Structure 1
Amino acid sequence: MGNWNRDLRESSTWELLRRCCSLSMAAHQSPDAPFLLDWFPSSFSSPPPSPAYAIFAFPGSWSAADWLSEQVSDDPFGSCEVDGDLFPSLMTVFRSVPAVVHAGFLRCFRRILQDSALRAEASILFSCFASVHQVKLRPFPGKVDRALNCKRQIVFTGHSSGGAISALAAIWLLDSLKLHDSQDFPLCVTFGSPLVGNDVFTNSLLREGWSCYFLNFVMNFDIVPRILLAPFRSIKKDLQAILHLLFSKWSCFSLSFVENSQLATFFATILKNSQDITTKRACMLMRCTNPLLQTFTSFTQLSPYRPFGAYVFCTMGGSLLMVTNSEAVLQLLFHFLQMDYEQKVEEVADRSLNEHLLYEAEVQKSFKIPDIVHLDNLQAVPLSLRNAFSKEMQLLGILFRDLGLSADARLRLCAIGEQENQRERNQVTVDETRSKIEDAMKFLKEYQEKCKNRGLGYYDTFKLQKHYDDFDANVKRIELAGLWDQIVEMLKRCELPGKFESRKEWVELGTSYRRLVEPLDIANYYRHAKNEDTGPYLLKGRPSRYTYTQSWLEYIHRMDMGSCPDSCFWANVEELCIDTNNGKLYFELKDRITELEKQAEAWHSQGLLSGDVFLGESTFLKWWKTLPQEHRSKSHIRRYIDAKVLKRLDVPPFDDARKGASVGVRSGELPVETPVKGPYG
């Protein structure tokens, strides 16, 4: 099976989902076991039957301590940042802001991950993958290894909070498999699961293309998927009693554990908080300018949790509604919980708990004759049956009418659809600018070659601005800045599709742009002495278009944050020149000087730093000549400096200088100069 979005209409998929649902409910009644494992089909023939699955079902937690997370999080909603080592993909590209997840569920998953039962079996898969793909994998728990080694597709599943744990397990495995070409991506299906993470969590899955591996079944009135929309202090008093009731065996199911008024208060609290957050999100979607919105937000605590993956809403009539847009799911979680005027709060609250334990019966019934309505084209959602022109929209309109979905809810769905379409239009606009970016960069590359031929270099020629083409290069720099600033701002505001950040052609273009053009921005910054008013370029003056494209590259290649600052070389040179001219002593700057030389040597050997850096009249070499004689005589960058210049400076040539001539500067390119005596001798 590839993913849920593509395979949900196949009969074999329903058979798998029935098995997952049954195993999840079995785990529900086995909370002491860390997980249940089912091989489906059970045959272990070689080769295995196709398709073949290993289903891991996680039990939910029925302790309020795990839900409230008071011992591990001070946040009113029990959230904490994810561990970057465990979930390296769950972060923003810009500034690597980690996703926020429910601290209690994360702690439960860590316990399961560290459990000795999971590591009991030998890691055959690890040795196979290490030899075939030659990549260092993090060790997998033993039973997951065994399942993969048996050529079984992993399926993680769970009911209630067990579903949240299964989602974390799936992301953990997806992250582990990301570094090689395996197509055996795990699947995850949950039943009545609470929410798990925030916007960053959801957007990270979209960016990685993993959302299609997650499927969440929700009964219309099930209260559990909505619980985390309320702050814990508002439900703390009643939560343990509610969880005790939900854990009860079906045969013992009774409201005698909880008073009707207590249950009604619990339900009303969650409904109110759901309304608060969905109303705010709807106002943001519709560009509401009412100042009351800001006032409301300032004193109201809103849940950070958001839906992710595909949601299948199960109606009591047997129809299934599938929704993949996170914002639409959030709105439906609230609007499907609405009551008729004739209904009492106590009745709906009672139903909201009953439905949490009816998944197996209801879902199994639905699976006999799958009747799925896909809510894909949100912008075309009919406000009434009279507006439903296509057959699909008529079916959707009838379903919404039967579910009692209000006109306000439909209007919000239309607004979400418009936002989704606007992102697609923005992507088309950005793609159309690519040719403009490439043309401008082509001009600057030609300009770079002209500068080399003049014997001064790209950076210094631009900084001096003595020729007509220097002016033209500055115009291209400004044009490119405008184009990239627009793209980066769209990415920051999530105005492009989630997968845009994973498009390698744009990552490569952004990296080429940064390495080609940032030196010109640095030259312009110090040419106009902006550092005197604003401060050093790297601290105060670096535009976000460069920090973003650098973070982009580091994220895609899983590098440490800030590990690719090659385009900032000239900013470090300028600051060292300023400190030297201001009278700082050599020993005060020695560490920075040594680090800069190491970087120059490494980046030049990798082709990231042009040879014109070592031209005789370059800013770098003029400064380097002022360093103490002893330092210059031992510096490894001598190999890239013209022999005549070294001779004038009484600096011995590097032993391997002739071997490195192909990457250095050819002898005879530089004018003969008089040695410069700097402050260091």
Structure 2
Amino acid sequence: MAGGTRVADIIGMRDDQVINKACSFAMKDHKPPAKPYILEKSRGSPDTYFFIFPGSWLVSDWFAQKPFGETKINRPDNPPKFPSLRSIGNDEVATVNDAFLRRFEEKILGASDFKEKVQKAETDKKQIVFTGHSLGGSMAILATLWFLDNCKFDKTSPPLCVTFGSPLTGNRIFSHALRREKWAPYFIHFVMRYDIVPRLLLAPIPSIEKEFESILRFFATKSVNKPEEAPDFYRTVMTNAASVASHAACNLMANPNLLLETVTNFTALSPYKPFGTYFFCTGNGKPVVLRNSDAVLQLLFYSSQLNSEAELHEIARTSLDQHFGYENELKKMQDVVDLKKLETLSYSAEATGSDSATINSALNDLGLSTRARLCLLAAVEFEKRKQRNMDSIDTKKIQKEITELESYRVICKTRLMSCYDAFRLHNSPHDFKANVNRLELASIWDEIIEMLKRYQLPDDFEGQKDWVELGKRFRRLVEPLDVANYYRHSKDEESGPYLGTPGKPRKPRPKRYIYTQRWLEHAQKLPAESSGESHFWAEVEELRTKTSSPDGFEQVKPRVLQLERNIQKWVNGEELGKDKDVLLCQESILVKWWKTLPDQHKKDSAFNNLIY
């Protein structure tokens, strides 16, 4: 590769040889029974280790259950192997192709020395490149994700995942989570214009299963004669790709048409979505680069459309040949057309101006129509709209209301009361003003949560340090007041305990606290539900009720002991603020309740030493 913007410039590598070598290794004919992975130490790049994953031409390695073969990436009966692959607040776990996941878990993680070799390479400070062609690309993706989530690595030399003709592997949560963790730049995917494999999982398994067996046999033998099923296979895949792309485009454009919802009720759409950086190979040595996953989905469809029905047989054959054309394509690559400034794109195929003309020429090479260009622009606008939503949040008002409540906490301390005890009694004008602050903040944060539930904020929002910190301050300061208000008005008698009842899905606890607690736990890699310092008062209130009966204490003794341990930990760590003298004073609701517990328990409890 020479001249202009190089592939290495896009991905931050010193030279393009790493990509060329990854392609050469990935495209080797790994005939069965192939090893689960191959480790190559390149002579020209001694500091780079290539972990290469061979593909498979067995249908069972591609498809599991129907219609799309997806499953949650973290098995419910095991510790999560990919804890970051979820949306944090919504707690929505990413889904992945089940056959791919099983192959990775059983043949790579479970039956080889893969973990040891990868960890040694990182310890030896080698540049690690995970790579694969076809299904091997999906194995490389899962290997990279496992590494990022389970191994310590130098962020100045992160791992790189390079795939060639890889099928789509996971759903939209993949892209969401990788952008939040700032891992998306580590994933580089090369796709030939007509290669059918990166598109095939956009079709339901039953619609292509029979033809796909013939396609895989062709791939395995690399026969000169194309399977007669190729045209029907191509048509079926692209018809379903059209449905997925059209539905996604309507959502990007905020189309209010209720017909969209009706259609999805009757027609199952593929859950698979792209993520990372895509290089679309045009065939003329000038690949087009896209990082916007919504735009990539549109390009996967529109770049491989037929101009006429007469092209079907020829394009169908080309779609199979191009699956093995990556090495030759990389050899002739020159300038790279980076669509980072996609907003400069013109609707017309006759654009002028240096930047616009370059982009326009590249998109013409991909055969993009006016409609296709509109869909790409819609993807760009969708990202801008999410950024505008975040910018519209009144952070100054949040800070102002929080500052006033912090002043309220100081006032309560001068009254020799914790803010929880004072707000529970609610007999001072200061308490009334604090309630106004509480309601103002609740309104703002509820709007934020609603936008998060609909994925209308930037993907990295929940991972931004400023928002994690602001959410922590908000939760620790305001939730005790919410709990006090809940029990002051005896809402537990109608709606049950604030923290909910085991076995019942509904919990009165507002999502504005659940989400912000999850942000902190994720950022600090804490166990789920471990940072309950903002709502421990709800546990106190419930235990007060349960221990009021003669035999009540014995029934909840483990919970009492756990609460005591937690409070001691939170007091020592100052998670409960610096006013522990009023929190644990003799007139505190907490202390008054604790004194009602059996004498032997109080005598043996370390909590006794905390009370003033």
The aligned residue for residue 302 of structure 1 is 269
Shift in alpha-carbon separation, 1:336–1:146, aligned structure 2, 3 A: same
Number of the residue aligned with 2:41: 39
Q: Is 1:14 the equivalent of 2:16? A: yes
1:596 corresponds to 2:563: yes
CA distance in 2, matches of 1:592, 1:402: 67
The aligned residue for residue 141 of structure 2 is 167
Distance 1:410 1:152, change over 3 A: same
**Aligned pair partner of 1:102 in 92, 97, 103:** 97
1:6 Cα shift?
Answer: 7.1
Distance 2:591 2:195 in 1: 70
Tell me which residue corresponds to 2:122.
148
325-334 or 29-38: which moved more?
Answer: 29-38
> Judging changes above 3 Å, is the alpha-carbon distance between structure 1 residues 630 and 149 closer, same or farther for their aligned structure 2 residues?
closer
Change (3 A) 1:548 1:111: same
Q: RMSD of the TM alignment (CA)?
A: 2.3
Letter in 1 for 2:196: I
Contact 1:60 1:162 (C-alpha < 8 Å) held by counterparts: yes
Superposed counterparts of 1:238-249, under 5 Å: 238-249=211-222
Indicate the residue corresponding to 1:441 in structure 2. Answer: 402
Q: 1:489 is aligned with what amino acid?
A: E
Q: How far off is 1:218 after superposition?
A: 0.5
Residue type of the partner of 2:218?
A: L
Q: How many angstroms apart in 1 are the aligned matches of 2:268 and 2:293?
A: 20
1:604/1:611 contact within 8 Å kept: no
Mapped contact 2:7–2:336 kept (Cα < 8 A): no
Instruction: Tell me, yes or no, if the aligned pair for 2:132 and 2:140 is still in contact at 8 Å.
Output: yes
Q: 523-532 vs 7-16, which deviates more?
A: 7-16
For residues 11 and 617 of structure 1, the distance between their equivalents in structure 2, rounded to whole angstroms, comes to: 64
Q: Alpha-carbon deviation of 1:576?
A: 2.1
- How far apart, CA to CA, are the structure 2 residues paired with 1:635 and 1:499? 44
Is residue 2:283 matched to residue 1:313?
no
Match of 1:670 in 2: none
Give the 5 Å matches for 1:352-391.
Answer: 352-366=319-333, 370-385=334-349, 388=351, 390-391=353-354
> Does the Cα contact within 8 Å between 1:58 and 1:158 map onto a contact in 2?
yes
Unaligned runs of 5+ in 1: 45-51, 120-139, 642-664, 666-681
Equivalent runs, 1:119-158 vs 2, <5 Å = 140-142=115-117, 144-158=118-132
SS of equivalent to 2:392: helix
Q: Following TM superposition, by how much is the alpha carbon of 1:12 offset from its aligned partner in structure 2, in angstroms?
A: 4.8
Partner Cα separation in structure 1 for residue 158 and residue 45 of structure 2: 21
Name the SS for the 1:521 alignment partner. helix
The amino acid across from 1:147 in the alignment is A
SS in 2 for 1:265: helix
In structure 1, how many angstroms separate the alpha carbons of the residues matched to 2:128 and 2:28?
18
Alignment-derived partner of residue 535 in structure 1: 496
Aligned letter for 1:79? E
> Could you tell me the TM-score, scaled by structure 1's length?
0.83
* Fraction of identical pairs, as percent: 42
1:383-434 deviation per Cα after TM superposition (whole angstroms, max 9, x unaligned) = 0045x3541112222332343211111111111111111122233334xx33
**Residues 103-159 of structure 1: CA deviation (Å, up to 9, x unaligned):** 11122222343466536xxxxxxxxxxxxxxxxxxxx322x2443344320111111
From the superposition, tell whether residues 461 and 492 of structure 1 become closer, same or farther in structure 2 (CA, over 3 Å).
same
Q: Which segment is superposed worse, 405-414 or 169-178? A: 169-178
Q: Is the 8 A contact 1:31 1:61 kept in 2?
A: no
Distance, in Å, in 2 between the alignment partners of 1:408 and 1:582 is 71
Aligned residues: 594
Report 1:267-416 matches (<5 A). Answer: 267-341=234-308, 343-366=310-333, 370-385=334-349, 388=351, 390-416=353-379
* Deviant stretches of 4+, over 6 Å: none
Are positions 1:613 and 2:586 aligned together?
no
CA displacement at 1:238 relative to structure 2: 1.5
**1:26 counterpart SS class:** coil
Q: Which residue of 1 aligns with 2:483?
A: 522
Spell out, residue by residue over 1:348-382, the C-alpha distance to the aligned partner (whole angstroms, 9 max, x if none): 2111111111111122122xxx2211112333321
Give yes or no for the alignment of 1:53 onto 2:28: no
SS of the counterpart of 1:307?
A: coil
* Cα distance in 1 between the residues matched to 2:60 and 2:590: 61
Contact 2:90 2:453 in 1 (8 A): no
What aligned pairs does 1:517-666 form with structure 2 within 5 A after superposition? 517-539=478-500, 540-581=507-548, 585-609=552-576, 610-641=580-611, 665=612
Question: Shift in Å at residue 338 of structure 1?
Answer: 0.7
For residues 581 and 145 of structure 1, the distance between their equivalents in structure 2, rounded to whole angstroms, comes to 55
User: Could you tell me which residue of structure 2 aligns to residue 417 of structure 1?
Assistant: 380
What CA distance in whole angstroms lies between the structure 1 residues aligned with 2:514 and 2:347? 44
2:210 matched to which residue of 1?
237
* Structure 2: stretches of 5+ with no match in the other structure: 1-5, 501-506
Distance across 1 between alignment mates of 2:347 and 2:57? 41
Structure 1 residue 506, shift from structure 2 partner: 1.7
Judge which range, 208-217 or 438-447, deviates more.
Answer: 438-447
One of 172, 182, 198 as aligned partner of 1:225? 198
Kept in 2, the 8 Å contact 1:380–1:414? The answer is: no
Separation (CA, whole Å) in 1 of partners of 2:14 and 2:422: 67
Q: Which residue number corresponds to residue 85 of structure 1? A: 80
Q: In structure 1, how many angstroms separate the alpha carbons of the residues matched to 2:442 and 2:540? A: 23
Contact 1:113 1:141 in 2 (8 A): no
| SS of residue matched to 1:567 | coil
In the alignment, structure 1 residue 429 sits paired with structure 2 residue 392: yes
Give yes or no for contact 1:96–1:561 (8 Å, CA) kept in 2: no
**Cα distance in structure 2, aligned partners of 1:190 and 1:389:** 34
- Name the CA distance, whole Å, in 2 between partners of 1:426 and 1:361: 45
Indicate the SS of the match to 1:172: helix
Matches of 2:70 and 2:413, distance apart in 1:
55
Q: Does the aligned pair in 2 maintain the 1:379–1:416 contact within 8 Å?
A: no
SS at structure 2 position matched to 1:311: strand
* Distance across 1 between alignment mates of 2:258 and 2:455: 23
Q: Could you tell me which of 169, 174, 182 is aligned with 1:201? A: 174
* Residue 481 of structure 1 pairs with residue 442 of structure 2: yes
- Once the two structures are superposed, the pairs formed by residues 461-472 of structure 1 within 5 Å of their partners are 461-472=422-433
Match 2:187 to one of 214, 227, 233: 214
* Corresponding residue of 1:176: 150
Structure label with greater radius of gyration? 1
- Which residue identity lines up with residue 122 of structure 2 in the other structure? L
**Comparing 579-588 and 594-603, the one that deviates more:** 579-588
Deviation at 1:595, TM superposition (A): 2.5
- Quickly say closer, same or farther: Cα 1:631–1:174, change in 2 above 3 A: closer
TM normalised by structure 2 equals 0.92
Shift in CA distance, 253/35, structure 1 to aligned 2, threshold 3 Å: farther
Taking the aligned partners of 1:10 and 1:577, their CA distance within structure 2 comes to: 60
- For 2:381, the aligned partner's letter is E
Which structure is higher in RCO with an 8 Å CA cutoff and minimum separation 6? 2
**Residues 25/573 of structure 1: CA separation in 2 closer, same or farther (3 Å cut):** same
One-letter identity of the residue aligned with 1:159: H
